[in-house]
């Protein structure tokens, strides 16, 4: 049996783990372009969805792409965030999101998840600031647009709320929040 000194074994283990992470991440980077193309196609379909049911099915697919990134490390961290949120641990989710955003500042859904938690905690200033980051990274993010519209509405800034909701509805014509803005009318449906 081969005897490897403990220090050398530790170094080799770390090198092997690093190599495995690089190999695992390699295809994820290649998938990013495919994911972007798939999301672009879904957004095109969503804009012209014939009815609410079709729109909701497309909406769910988009959210799946947003919340399950192809990078395996980021995906694992996002699962931790969603688990903490699901358990009602806002403080824990915020801690995880602060670290996630520091490590992945270009991941729009990290910012959006934090904006959502700030919203539920009533910290509209922080939530609106995070929504701005989301929209700088993904201008079609109907969740950030409609969420910010709701905050503006609650803050008595109806003109800003209306502007954001109109932008959200241009992307997703069947958002439920539409009913709060009767001046925007009803979506066109196809039979």
Residue 29, in any domain of the structure: no
Q: Containing domain of residue 91, as a range?
A: 34-184
CATH of the domain at 62: 1.25.40.10
Residue 121 CA to residue 128 CA, distance in Å, equals 13
- 150: closest CA among 170, 172, 180? 180
Sign of CA dihedral 85, 40, 55, 149: positive
pLDDT of res. 33? 84
The total number of structural domains that make up the chain: 1
Conformational region of residue 51, where left means phi above 0, alpha means psi within -120 to 50, and beta covers everything else: beta
Residue with the two structure tokens 């993904």: 138
pTM to 2 decimals?
0.80
* pLDDT by residue, tens only, the chain of 191 residues: 445 556 544 554 454 444 333 333 333 333 578 889 999 999 999 999 999 999 999 999 999 999 999 999 999 999 999 999 999 999 999 999 999 999 999 999 999 999 999 999 999 999 999 999 999 999 999 999 999 999 999 999 999 999 999 999 999 999 999 999 988 877 655 54
Within a domain: 162: yes
């Amino acid at each position: 049996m081969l005897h490897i000194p403990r220090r050398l074994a530790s170094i080799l283990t770390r090198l092997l783990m690093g190599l495995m992470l690089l190999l695992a991440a390699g295809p994820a980077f290649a998938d990013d372009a495919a994911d972007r193309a798939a999301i672009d196609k879904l957004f095109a379909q969503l804009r012209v969805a014939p009815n609410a049911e079709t729109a909701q099915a497309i909406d769910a697919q988009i959210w799946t792409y947003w919340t399950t990134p192809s990078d395996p490390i980021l995906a694992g961290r996002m699962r931790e965030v969603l688990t903490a949120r699901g358990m009602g641990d806002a403080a824990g989710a915020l801690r995880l999101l602060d670290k996630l955003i520091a490590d992945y500042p270009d991941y729009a859904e990290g910012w959006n998840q934090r904006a959502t938690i700030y919203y539920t905690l009533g910290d509209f200033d922080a939530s609106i600031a995070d929504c701005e980051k989301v929209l700088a990274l993904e201008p079609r993010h109907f969740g950030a647009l409609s969420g910010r519209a709701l905050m503006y509405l609650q803050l008595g800034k109806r003109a800003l709320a209306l502007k954001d909701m109109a932008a959200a509805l241009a992307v997703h014509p069947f958002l439920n929040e539409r009913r709060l803005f009767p001046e925007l009318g009803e979506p066109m449906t196809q039979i």
